[in-house]
Amino acid sequence: MVKKQITGEEIKRIIEEENVRFLRLMFTDILGTIKNVEVPVSQIDKVLENKMMFDGSSIEGFVRIEESDMYLYPDLSTWMIFPWESAHGKVARLICDIYNPDGTPFAGDPRGNLKRALSDMRELGFTSFNLGPEPEFFLFKLDEDGGITTTLNDKGGYFDFAPTDLGENCRRDIVLELESLGFEVEASHHEVAPGQHEIDFKYADVVDACDNIQTFKLVVKTIARKHGLHATFMPKPLYGINGSGMHCNMSLFNEDGNAFYDKEGDLELSQTAYHFLGGLLHHARAYTAVCNPTVNSYKRLVPGYEAPVYVAWSGHNRSPLVRVPESRGVSTRLELRSVDPSANPYLAMAVLLQAGLDGIRHELTPPDAVDRNIYVMNEEEREAAQIQDLPSTIHNAIKELRKDEVMIDALGQHIFSNFVEAKRLEWAAFRQTVSEWEREQYLELY
């Protein structure tokens, strides 16, 4: 979405003209969950003066009870009035950065941490890091009591249209709401699996793009409810069909334009692009923990369902981890295909940016492109081509993350420690459960 610079006085005027009654001060916790503090508009002066406090000890991975006071600093460029009406007047939002009482940025704020990565980027002479995300989601029916079912709302497939695609009306309403909020929607279509959809919006500077992802999730879930549906960004909600990814199209810019483009380069890619690619491949096993952060994420990262499983790249085929889309010039970019929509976008982009910058700093060279279908290669062929596997579980991914100092630094010690502890507990809880599959396999046999 196109953000406009706006002043506090303009916000006050809009509040009066539009009958805005409540403000949602939004931020994202370490696990990627959107949080908000809602205040009446009578508090607008306090909000604009960065004096709005909240209890950080109640937020996952933030701070202990004895150091709980945190401050919300609103980013005025994120001002937005929600399009759905409220009986008590309109509701607007501001996305906020989190600060300590002494006025320093809070190390556990994912959005602030991404800004820290951008300062490292600028030190290397780049001006911006752009992201074009491709988030996918499923639509499930609600029951008579509004409970979530696992019944899909259609039997559609890739690019199908009504009547097969019964989610089309819901998806169209989502697109209309997004456009009313300033999103430039580039594509909207049914995905491969029944009940699965994708809506792509125009690339933006990475912080804005991550803000857009969080706003997008909120809009999708809200509009789906109005259609009697539940939208989920869970990576693999059903066995036997494709899971949901969030392919990330990334490009670095400098004062001369797109730093990934070189008309004279191999595939018209610059050395900067190849070094960035080298960093993405070198750190892939470690950042997978952040880009695929749930137990369920690894049910998607298996052969046979179009999701990447192997650390490789190609300018043509879609089975490797990184693909180079055909567009060149200002649109030259690298597409990372492993990320799923359960990822905290701010953390995912911080580790991906730092992985690429590490490749640039150390002039890492990627192995040769793999232009054949990796899924049909045997283990010896993959080893000969220097193709590693991605981690198979969140447990293994966390072990890889623990070994990678560049990725640890990309998160910062506070976020790293709290993220790893949360995932340790998640894996421990998962290991203790007994699944229906296990009962089917072993109950009678043993």
Which of 88, 122, 316, 318 is an active site residue? 318
Is-catalytic flag, 426? no
DSSP 381: H
CA atoms within 13 A on the CB side of 287: 32
Is-catalytic flag, 211? no
Is-catalytic flag, 337? yes
Which of 29, 136, 168, 200 is an active site residue? 136
Which of 247, 285, 300, 323 is an active site residue? 247
Is-catalytic flag, 318? yes
Which of 268, 335, 409, 426 is an active site residue? 335
Which of 97, 168, 198, 211 is an active site residue? 198
Is-catalytic flag, 177? no
Contacts of the segment 304-308: beta carbons below 8 A, 24+ positions apart: 304/375, 305/241, 305/242, 305/243, 306/192, 306/242, 307/242, 307/243, 307/245, 307/337, 307/338, 308/337, 308/338, 308/390
Which of 337, 358, 400, 404 is an active site residue? 337
Contact, 245 vs 300, CB < 8 A? yes
Element (H, E) at 361: helix 345-361
DSSP 167: T
| Nearest of 253, 249, 210 to residue 124 by alpha carbon | 253
Which of 10, 45, 55, 143 is an active site residue? 55
Contact, 426 vs 294, CB < 8 A? yes
Whole-number Å distance between alpha carbons of 341 and 318:
19
Is-catalytic flag, 191? yes
Cis ω on the peptide bond leading into residue 345 (within 30° of 0)? no
Whole-number Å distance between alpha carbons of 342 and 426:
14
DSSP string, 60-90: TTS--GGG-EEEEEE-GGG-EE-SS--TT-E
Which of 134, 340, 400, 404 is an active site residue? 134
Under 8 Å CB-to-CB from 128, ≥6 apart: which residues?
205, 206, 252, 253
Whole-number Å distance between alpha carbons of 399 and 395:
7
Which of 97, 109, 191, 400 is an active site residue? 191
Is-catalytic flag, 383? no
For the annotated catalytic residues, the residue numbers are 55, 134, 136, 191, 198, 247, 318, 335, 337
